[in-house]
Amino acid sequence: MHPRAAEFADRARAAHGIEIEVHEFPGGTKTATDAAAAVGCEVGAIASSLAFRAPELVVVVASGANRVSERKLAALRAVPESAVDMADAADVRGTLGWSIGGVPPFCHEMPVPVYADETLLEFETVWAAAGTPEAVFPIAPERLCELADAQAVGVAAE
């Protein structure tokens, strides 16, 4: 197992007392489409952790089938839409402790607000990044929300 995926599994065990079943795909799971093809699931069951500045860093765990609406995220954060933008790689790494493409939905370096795309709740199991762009793990979406202290909200763009 890749050291960063093992680190995520260790952190999840220490912080939440859970065993993470990491699946690694050498071909990569960087995009939701890649991940769905590797796992053998619908693109909608891919739980992509995306970091935004709104204006502080927040994580949106979005369904791979959806694009996040910056307008809806701005409304949730009670800020102007112009204050919402994707976080840069240095911010993501520095605040969350993970690199873009491998950000898990929980076990971040620093606590940040986390929102979950409510459409993930339509699935029995979703697949989320496990610390690297090649590693994912299965989890019930309700459990993901619980562990990430995430609020399930409507953030999908129409």
Q: How, if at all, do strands 85-86 and 46-53 pair?
A: antiparallel
Number of C-beta neighbours around residue 3 at 10 A: 9
pLDDT of residue 96: 97
pLDDT of residue 31: 78
Q: For the chain, how are helix, strand and coil distributed in percent, rounded to 5?
A: 35, 25, 40
pLDDT of residue 155: 94
pLDDT of residue 27: 78
Torsion sign, CA atoms 38, 6, 15, 101: negative
Q: What residues are paired with 57 via a beta bridge?
A: 53
| Helix, strand or coil, per DSSP, at residue 59 | strand
* Sequential pLDDT tens for the chain (158 residues): 889 999 999 999 999 999 999 999 887 776 788 889 889 999 999 999 999 999 999 999 999 999 999 999 999 999 999 999 999 999 999 999 999 989 999 999 999 999 999 999 999 999 999 999 899 999 999 999 999 999 999 999 98
Domains, the chain, ordered by start = 3-153 (3.90.960.10)
H helical segments located in the chain = 3-16, 32-39, 70-77, 89-96, 141-148
For residue 55, cis peptide bond before it (omega within 30 degrees of 0): yes
